[in-house]
């Protein structure tokens, strides 16, 4: 794929890419670099892209604003930074996979977009979840088209090994929309405060053009140029919902459905 240097419109078909293309990504105000969280190759690729882009801001799905505020020029490369952040307590994969992303752009401001861990306690319906992010620009209070809602519920069911009660699925969709809106809003904040470009480090599900951060940005900040990059472990086909996507070897992992009692 050699179409770099040409701006890819959000509505245009996406394209597969190669690892070597990470050094020449198209210009954008906000670059969304997706990942499968436990795949080390995805984090190496993110670090390579960040090193090439040298963004003014890095936004992490994995960090709350409070955690991000603990990162300083002094401790950015410190092996003990994960402990300072309380990284392991949040259940993310080894911080050693993520730290090279920080050091790849040593001058970039760091923003955390994660919810406070207690924010969702006691909330089990879409309305109460949407109330956590009342900014109307991001559209959380508006119901989805029924077909879109059904498709997203099916995605959530599959992601949780079809082990969730059906009445919990609307809540799960609402939480995903909330996170997309928060990540988008944090990217806008970072863009306004630093001038960009901004790189967002997040799961590939959040970089989907049709329902992730790009969709939230299209509502709230339509003039912002967004590049949505997905990293996957299998060919998504020609209709993949990304501007660009990269397919890597899968990382070895236990059957994720075993915890639900539905594994093979």
pLDDT tens profile 135-171: 999 999 999 999 999 999 999 999 999 999 999 999 9
CATH code linked to domain 15-119+195-257:
3.40.50.11550
Confidence of residue 117 (pLDDT cuts 50, 70, 90): confident
Say how far apart CA 48 and CA 201 lie, in whole Å: 13
Task: Give the pLDDT of residue 5.
Answer: 36
Domain-by-domain residue ranges, the chain? 15-119+195-257
Say how far apart CA 45 and CA 32 lie, in whole Å: 13
Give residue 135's region: left, alpha or beta (phi > 0; psi -120 to 50): beta
Task: Tell me if the pTM is above 0.85.
Answer: yes
Confidence of residue 12 (pLDDT cuts 50, 70, 90): low
Query: Residue 239: CB partners within 8 Å, gap ≥ 6?
Result: 13
CB-side exposure of 138: number of CA atoms within 13 Å?
A: 27
- Lowest mean pLDDT of 119-128, 176-185, 203-212, 222-231, name the range: 119-128
- Mean pLDDT rounded to a whole number for the chain: 93
């Amino acid at each position: 794929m050699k179409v770099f240097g040409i701006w890819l419109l959000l509505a245009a078909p996406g394209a597969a890419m190669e690892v070597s293309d990470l050094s020449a990504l198209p210009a954008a105000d906000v670059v969304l670099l997706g990942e499968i969280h436990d795949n080390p190759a995805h984090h190496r690729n993110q670090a390579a892209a960040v090193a090439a882009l040298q963004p003014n801001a890095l936004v992490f799905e994995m960090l709350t604003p409070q955690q991000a505020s603990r990162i300083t020029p002094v401790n950015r490369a410190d092996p003990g930074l994960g402990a300072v952040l309380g990284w392991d307590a949040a259940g993310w994969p080894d911080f050693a996979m993520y730290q090279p992303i920080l050091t790849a752009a040593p001058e970039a401001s760091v923003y955390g977009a994660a919810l406070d861990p207690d924010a969702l306690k006691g909330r089990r319906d879409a309305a109460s979840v949407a109330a956590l992010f009342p900014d109307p620009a991001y559209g959380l209070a508006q119901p989805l088209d029924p077909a879109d809602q059904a498709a997203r519920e099916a995605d959530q069911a599959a992601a949780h090994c079809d082990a969730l009660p059906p009445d919990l699925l609307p809540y799960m969709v609402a939480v995903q929309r909330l996170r997309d809106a928060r990540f988008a809003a944090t990217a806008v904040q970072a863009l306004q405060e630093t001038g960009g470009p901004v790189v967002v480090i997040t799961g590939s599900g959040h970089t989907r053009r049709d329902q992730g951060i790009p969709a939230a940005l299209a509502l709230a900040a339509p003039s912002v140029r967004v590049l949505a990059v997905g990293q996957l472990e299998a060919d998504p086909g020609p209709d993949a919902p990304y501007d660009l996507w990269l397919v890597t070897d899968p990382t070895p992992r236990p059957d994720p459905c075993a915890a639900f009692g539905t594994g093979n």
